[in-house]
Structure 1
Amino acid sequence: MHFKTIATALAVAGVAAAQNYTQGSAHINMNNIDATVTFAKVDTGVNVTVAVSKGLTEAFQILPVGFEYHVHVNPVGANNNCTSTGGHLDPANVGAAPCDPKNLTSCQVGDLSGKHGDLVAVNNSTGAIPTFSYIDTQLAFSGAASLVGRSVVIHNNGTRVACADIVVEGYSGNSSSTNGTTTTGGSTTSGAAKLVGSVALSGLVAAMMLVF
């Protein structure tokens, strides 16, 4: 009974470690764009705050439609490769159909622009835009819509021009490098993969202790 109690505690602790995150941010500093997207857990979802200090000028944008930005599935690749971030976070497999912000089931979870509007370019020399916030009811810090191990990408008419990892407070798998990946023993492991591995290890230990 003693071993079973310990095993149960370990299993619960492993799951809790994957669910108790409440804060995260992506600091983008690339191609003369300096922006920070902050995520904070609230009762109704995640509060998102976007602060852009430079780079989003009208002269830089390709078409006058604003800059799109999204949460992407994977971390940033080696040498700040934004292509390595994969597609938008889309656990429901909504696909590329247009997002209707009045009907969130039509939207990819990571399509922040589709749900809340593009980053509007400004006609000044710095490209700084006013800081703004909103609550996204689809994002989370656990489950299929989790922000852990993800990244934020800014697009200019579809082209990925800047990106950064989402660094989640308290998560041991956060990258210590600037390119958004952690390399161990010659292999590269994404934040999401390390999170799954951590929980799986806790479950394995718990199962072994139940046997003995």
Structure 2
Amino acid sequence: MQLISLWSNARNVLYTRDRPVRTPADVAGMKIRVPSRNAGLVVEAWGGSPVSMPVSEIYNALQTGVIDGALIDGTATHAFRLGEVANFLTVGMDTTLSPFFIIMSRDAFDSLAPDHQAALLEVGRETSFLGNQVQLAEAARGIEAFGAMPGKELIRLTPEEAAAFNALSAPVVERVVAETGGDAQAVIDALRAR
């Protein structure tokens, strides 16, 4: 495969239906939809039970109480209408990101003329930056919109409140970096520097 474009979502935040989350103790026993194995490890570290399900099933699962919350970025307020079924949104703790990418068959890429390959890769770079800008802007817009909805509560953790979550998540990051090996720590360091 040939990588054409790569970007990520905004930091995942925690939408919950019935219970506000301000401390890890508030997560204890909650069933939280997670987007990945690593996000599930974070939720477990906080005391919750991770539930894997496609994003298209979150709305109904949250509405009916199959899950108590969902770890997803702020675009979900509008894109997946979680603003309709969640009553609380907690932001500010370190969570996970999900990658988005465009790939192409290596054989198909290699069959292109060199100038077409270069043009495709240039458009891919531009798409990467644009994709990330759009994700970040829409997530911020979704978080603010949730906070403006009647009957909803946007919980912005203080640095001290977030530190309680982050202290529990730190060993998860160390574990995943160790399992991944290679340049994983350098990637983490680069992301933290931004």
Give TM-score scaled by structure 1 length: 0.24
Higher relative contact order (CA 8 A, sep 6+): 2
Q: Going by fraction, where is strand more abundant, 1 or 2?
A: 1
Give TM-score scaled by structure 2 length: 0.25
Q: Going by fraction, where is helix more abundant, 1 or 2?
A: 2
